[in-house]
């Protein structure tokens, strides 16, 4: 590396740093919809259709970022929202976004907060192939009922056990001459899981995390 290479490096470094290796992750975008009814704001939720992945669970509209269709993650969130619940982007006022979420499973989600300018739930045309139903809950309910907090353990190890009970090395520690300690599970990490127990619905996981992050932005002492 010489002075010329240093100039090339300087010019190539990102002006706005992103997530390293983003292209290797599953990238998704979500809209956190707010509706103003009866002098207060409500969250709009979807209950996923049973036939799709994570069927029956509660979520916000959103899905995978498609590079061939979407010019940005915001466009992905708006497209998915229109596909799933039939609300066009001209009825959505984006008021901001939350921080980028990176899950231990290798999922990156960009989330956008938007106010839906609709008169009632009759304005929606849901895609029954993806969405079983939509419903709203007042934001104040979540403010007054903080979530229960649990944890799952995330492990890293250089092998896995296949369906035949055989140990398959994915990183040959001994062959590479790496420290023997890495033959075992590496130090585990506890990952927080939030659960809101409404008398009708259970809202948890990433959806609950977005709610926590949003309300923590309004109230520093939320949880």
List residues bridging with 78 in a β-sheet. Answer: none
Label residue 105 by pLDDT band (50, 70, 90).
confident
Average pLDDT for residues 105-110, to the nearest whole number? Answer: 93
Q: Where are the domains positioned within the chain?
A: 20-147+198-218, 153-187
Q: What are the beta bridge partners of residue 168?
A: 160
CATH topology of domain 20-147+198-218: Nucleoside Triphosphate Pyrophosphohydrolase (3.90.79)
Task: Tell whether the model's pLDDT for residue 223 goes beyond 90.
Answer: no
The structure tokens listed for 165 are 């009970």
pLDDT for 189 beyond 90: no
Q: What ranges in the chain are assigned the alpha helix state H?
A: 3-12, 73-85, 139-144, 173-176, 205-218
Whether 120 shows a pLDDT value over 90: the answer reads no
* 124 close to 85: Cβ distance less than 8 angstroms: yes
Report pLDDT for 55. 81
Question: Per the structure block, which two tokens stand in for 134?
Answer: 């939509």
For residue 87, what are the CA distances in angstroms to 68, 78, 96, 207? 22, 9, 18, 20
Residue 39 corresponds to which tokens in the numbers above? 């002098």
Residues 165-177, mean pLDDT to the nearest whole number: 95
Q: How far apart are CA 94 and CA 74, in angstroms?
A: 9
**pLDDT tens string 14-53:** 998 889 988 899 999 999 999 999 899 999 999 999 888 7
pTM for the whole thing?
Answer: 0.90
Convert the pLDDT of each residue in 201-220 to its tens digit: 999 999 999 999 999 999 98
Minimum mean pLDDT among 48-52, 83-87, 96-100, 177-181: which range? 48-52
Average pLDDT value for residue range 83-101: 96
């Amino acid at each position: 590396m010489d002075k010329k290479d240093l100039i090339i490096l300087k010019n190539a470094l990102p002006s706005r740093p992103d997530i390293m290796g983003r292209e290797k992750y599953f990238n998704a975008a979500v809209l956190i919809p707010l509706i103003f009814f009866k002098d207060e704001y409500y969250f709009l939720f979807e209950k996923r259709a049973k036939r799709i992945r994570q069927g029956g669970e509660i979520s916000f509209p959103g899905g995978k970022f498609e590079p061939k269709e979407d010019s940005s993650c915001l466009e992905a969130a708006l497209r998915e929202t229109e596909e799933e619940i039939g609300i066009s982007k001209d009825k959505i006022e984006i008021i901001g976004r939350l921080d980028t979420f990176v899950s231990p499973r290798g999922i990156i989600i960009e989330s956008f907060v938007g106010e839906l300018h609709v008169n009632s739930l009759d304005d929606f045309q849901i895609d029954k192939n993806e969405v079983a139903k939509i419903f709203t809950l007042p934001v104040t309910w979540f403010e007054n009922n903080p979530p229960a907090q649990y944890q799952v353990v995330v492990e890293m190890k250089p092998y896995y056990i296949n369906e035949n009970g055989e140990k398959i090395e994915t990183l040959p520690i001994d062959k590479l001459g790496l420290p023997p300690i890495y033959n075992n599970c590496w130090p585990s990490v506890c990952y927080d899981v939030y659960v809101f127990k409404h008398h009708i619905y259970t809202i948890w996981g990433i959806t609950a995390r977005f709610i926590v992050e949003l309300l923590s932005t309004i109230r520093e002492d939320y949880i």
